[in-house]
Each structure stands twice: as C-alpha cells, then as structure tokens.
Structure 1
Amino acid sequence: MTQQQLGDAVGIKFQQIQKYETGMNRVSASRLWDIASALDVTIAFFFEGLDGDVAEAAMSEFQVEKPQGDLMVDREAQELVRSYYAIPEEQRRRLFDLARVLSDAA
C-alpha cells in the first residue's frame, strides 16, 4: 500500500503519513487505530518486538473495559466499528461525543 493509498483510507494527506513514518509527528491513539484498520492489522502489530514492559505500557492506552465478554466477537459490533471509522474525523468526534452523552444518560 502506498502512502497515498493509506492516507486516502485514513482520511488524511499522504504528507501526514510521511511525517508519521519519519517520526516528525507523533501518532495519536485514535489515528493508530485508523491506520491499523486501514492495514487490516491489530494495534499489537505495531508493538511487536518491543520489550514486554514497553509494549505493555504502550498498549495500555488501548485497553477497554468490556462489560459482556469480548464485544469484537459480535458481528454487529465489528460492523459498527468499521462504519464509525469510515466517517470523516470531525464528524466522528461529534458522533463519539453524542454517544458518550447518551450512554451517560442511560
């Protein structure tokens, strides 16, 4: 996959991908999730080969409480996540805020 294709899949310019690749810019957790989804790999893929403590610390940001077992086994949850990350970032953040408010009200 080219930088242009990855940028298109993630919804950013290929120049930003270059900055991530060279280390000029840091990759946020949400952007790393987007990139992993576009490449069809898990987040852990990016931490392979790291010392156990370093990898564990890096992965801790991606740990999510799962109220009823592993939600990602559920086909509906997988479809929801794929659809969510297909939404442009600005609208996705608004949708996330809305979902958070609705879940707090429930």
Structure 2
Amino acid sequence: MKHPVDVHVGKRIRHRRWMVGMTQQQLAERVGIKFQQIQKYETGMNRVSASRLWDIAETLAVPVSFFFEGLEGGANKPVESALPGDILADKEALELVRSYYAIPENQRRRLFELARVLSDAA
C-alpha cells in the first residue's frame, strides 16, 4: 500500500523534473540509477531513501525540504494542501510556468501585473 507521504514526495519530484525540463532518463543518469526507479519514486510505489532524496534534490537544484512542501498534519495522517485539482500535474499548466520563467524578468513582472488586473476584473 502506498503511503501518502511517499506519493506526495513522488509528485514533487515529478513536478520539479518537469519544471526544469528533464526526462526521467536524464534524472536517473545524473543520480546513478535506472529510469524505472525514478518512475517508481514518482508514483509513490517505492520510498526514496534520505541519501537518494539528497542526490535528487542536488540534481534538481532544490533543497530537500522542497519535496515536503504542502504536507500538513501528523505523521500518520498527512494532508496535502495543494492547489485545486493538483494543477501542477497538468502538463499545460507546467508548460505555462516554464514559458513564464523563460521571459526576461522585467517583462515577466509586467505580464504578472497584467494577469493580476485581469483576474481581479473577472
């Protein structure tokens, strides 16, 4: 049976991997494992050891704590406080975020302000 924390950590690995535009194969090669193991981590089928999570975090350029963000509750009953419908699991949303961060910072800020104004008007 999958533990909810393992599922959450796996989702966070997948989300970050997508955000940096890395394939499972590329991540696996950089961490020194087979891509099938990355698949198992991302689905929560296998638990990620502390040392492996450390390696994954370094490869994906995030702190280890990144993988636990969004978890609340006790050890036996974690509750995900994610966006509605797990928006980061949506490939279109991830592509939008990637494209957004590819825009130069000054233009990105202006686009952000425009989006804020449009959402307030809706």
TM-score by length of structure 1 reads 0.48
Q: Which has the higher contact order (CA 8 A, sep 6+)?
A: 2
Larger Cα-atom Rg:
2
1 or 2, which has the higher helix percentage?
1
